[in-house]
Structure 1
Amino acid sequence: MSVPPQQELPRPGGFPEIRYKRYLPKVGPSGLVLFSGITLMCSLGLYRTGQGNLERRELEREKVWSRIHLIPLLQAEADRDTYRREVAAKEREAEIMKDVKDWKAGESVYNSKRYTPKTYVVVP
C-alpha cells in the first residue's frame, strides 16, 4: 500500500510578513538640504576667490604704475651719481698726469665726437 504524497500548504490566513527592512529613525538632514548647503558653500567660495583675484589684480596694477612713475627719479639719481663720479675721475686724472706735457684730462680716448659713457665704475 502506497501513501500518496502530501503537499505542504500555507496555514489558514497565510504566513506572517517577513521583515527584511530595517526601520531606523531618520537622522541628519535630507539629501536636498545637504546638496543645497554644498552648492551655497561652493558659490560663496567662488565669489570670494573672484573678489580676491580682482583685489590682487588691482594691487599688481598699482605696483606696476608706481614703478613706472619712479623710473625718472631713479634715472635722475643715477645720472647725478655718474656725473659726480666722472668729475672726480677727471680731477684724479688731472692730478696724476699734471707732469705730462700736452695731456688733457677727461679727453676721450676714442677718435669720435660722439659721447661714449664709461663701461666700468671707478671707485674712489
Structure 2
Amino acid sequence: MSGSGFHGFKQDMPPPGGYEAIKYKRNLPVRGVGGAVVFSTVAAICAFGFWRVGAGNVEKRELKREQAWSRINLVPLLLAEQDRDAYRRQQAALAREKEIMKDYPGWEAGKSTYNSSRYTPNTIVVL
C-alpha cells in the first residue's frame, strides 16, 4: 500500500441539481367552507328569524286589536239579546203565576213582593 492517501474511494456527493427540499410544513386539505361564510350564513338566518318574529308580533297585535273591537261592537247586541230573553222569561213566569194562582181571590199576579218602587231583578231563574 502506498501511504499517500485514499485513492481508491469515491466520496458520496449530492446529485446534480441538489437534493429536493425537505417537506416540513403540514399539507392538510381544505375541508368545508371558510369561517366568514359560516358566520355570514348564520347571521343571515338569525336576521331572517328576527324579521319573522317581528312580523308575527305585529300580526298578533293586530288580531288582538281586531278581536277587542269586535267584542266592543258586539256588546250592544248581546245586551239586547239578554234583555229580550229576560223579558220573555218574565212574561212566561207571569203567565205561570196567573195559571197557578187563579183560584186564590185577591191575588195580583206580577205584583212585587218587595215594598219598594225600585226595580229588583229576579234572582231565581226557572228553566
Q: 2:57 aligns with which of 53, 60, 64?
A: 53
Q: Is residue 46 of structure 2 the alignment partner of residue 76 of structure 1?
A: no
Q: Moved runs in structure 1, 4+ residues, more than 6 A?
A: none
The percentage of aligned residue pairs carrying the same residue is 56
**CA deviation profile, 1:74-98 (whole Å, cap 9, x unmatched):** 1111110110110111011011111
Give, as a single letter, the amino acid of the residue that structure 1 aligns with 2:77: L
Offset of residue 17 of structure 1: 5.8
Offset of residue 120 of structure 1: 2.1
| Higher RCO by CA contacts (8 Å cutoff, separation 6 or greater) | 1
Give the structure 2 partner of residue 110 of structure 1. Answer: 114
Offset of residue 18 of structure 1: 7.8
Q: Is residue 70 of structure 2 the alignment partner of residue 66 of structure 1?
A: yes
Aligned length: 107
Q: How does 1:20-35 map onto structure 2 within 5 Å?
A: 22-35=26-39
Give, as a single letter, the amino acid of the residue that structure 2 aligns with 1:34: V
Aligned alpha-carbon RMSD (Å): 1.6
Q: TM-score, normalised by structure 1?
A: 0.80
The structure with the larger Rg is 2
Give the structure 1 partner of residue 45 of structure 2. Answer: 41
Q: How does 1:92-111 map onto structure 2 within 5 Å?
A: 92-111=96-115
Q: TM-score, normalised by structure 2?
A: 0.78
